[in-house]
């Protein structure tokens, strides 16, 4: 679990992070604090993602409302828990997709309930950790369009950007299969995410980002079976 706390007052940042660590026994959560909305937005622009964000409404520009709008541009379903001393701002918060409101000073019981709700909400939303250039990025497997071996690294291609991690393609496949049933190897150097396939033939597959990737003869039957099973399970 990765949670961000954004508040221009250090006391509230520290208090919320400490409570989060206690709730999750410190072992299952990474709490990252930000002192401004612009710093949090910058983290998202660099590829950082969080399972939930605690966000103060009343901050120097961009305030909490504008920050929430920007964050939902990156992660539309991101749970945002607003922190505020003014309950009359609640209606405005729901217009930007507020998940919860906590009134300052935060009551421990209400914070605990909010954390329980977040844990329930994210229980089925798994992610993978990609380590690159000294940074760790947690991304949803659904956002990965395909993965491709590149010398001693694997490139993970999403609609937003590309991530590189030093590993073997077989290791990447194992990591992806641990969190999703939708990945299929189609070539000695390529793994595709089945929902992103637009069309296929015996020699290549076209994906929804426009990429056209080779399909090896040895993997063609596996791709066909996997795609048929995916369609069967997701037929409406």
Q: Delineate the domains of the chain, giving CATH numbers in brackets.
A: 2-122 (3.40.50.2300), 139-234 (2.40.50.1020)
Percentage of residues of the chain with pLDDT beyond 90: 50
- Tell me the whole-structure pTM to 2 decimals: 0.56
Rounded CA gap, 20 and 14, in Å? 10
Percentage of residues of the chain with pLDDT beyond 70: 91
Q: Which residues, including other chains, have CB under 8 Å from residue 67's CB and lie 6 or more apart?
A: 6, 37, 40, 41, 55, 59
Average pLDDT over residues 169-178: 91
Single out the residue of 156, 121, 151 nearest to residue 138, CA to CA.
156
For residue range 129-139, list pLDDT tens digits in order.
Answer: 888 877 888 88
- Confidence at residue 181, expressed as pLDDT on a 0 to 100 scale: 84
Q: Is the pLDDT of residue 218 over 90?
A: yes
- The string of DSSP letters for 33-68 reads EESSHHHHHHHHHTT---SEEEEESS-SSS-HHHHH
Count how many Cα atoms sit within 13 Å of the Cα of residue 217 in the half-sphere of its side chain: 0
Single out the residue of 206, 171, 167 nearest to residue 186, CA to CA.
206
Q: Is the pLDDT of residue 185 over 90?
A: yes
For residue range 145-164, list pLDDT tens digits in order.
Answer: 999 999 899 999 998 889 99
């Amino acid at each position: 679990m990765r949670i961000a706390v954004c508040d221009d007052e250090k006391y509230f940042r520290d208090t919320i992070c400490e409570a989060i660590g206690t709730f999750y026994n410190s072992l299952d959560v990474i709490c990252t604090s930000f002192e401004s909305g612009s710093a949090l937005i910058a983290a998202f622009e660099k590829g950082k993602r969080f399972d939930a964000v605690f966000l103060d409404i009343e901050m120097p520009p961009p305030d909490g409302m504008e920050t929430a709008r920007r964050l939902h541009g990156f992660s539309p379903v991101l749970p945002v828990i607003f922190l505020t001393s003014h309950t009359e701002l609640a209606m405005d918060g729901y217009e930007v997709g507020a998940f919860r409101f906590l009134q300052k000073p935060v009551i421990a019981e209400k914070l605990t309930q909010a954390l329980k709700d977040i844990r329930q909400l994210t229980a089925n939303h798994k992610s993978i950790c990609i380590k690159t250039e000294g940074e760790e990025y947690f991304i949803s497997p659904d956002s990965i369009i395909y993965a491709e071996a590149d010398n001693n690294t694997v490139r993970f291609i999403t609609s937003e950007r590309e991530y590189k991690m030093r590993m073997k393609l077989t290791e990447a496949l194992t990591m992806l299969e641990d969190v999703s049933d939708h990945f299929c190897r189609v070539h000695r150097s390529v793994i595709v995410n089945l929902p992103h396939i637009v069309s296929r033939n015996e020699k290549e597959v076209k994906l929804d980002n426009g990429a056209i990737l080779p399909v090896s003869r040895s993997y063609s039957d596996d791709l066909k079976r996997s795609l048929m099973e995916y369609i069967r399970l997701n037929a409406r």
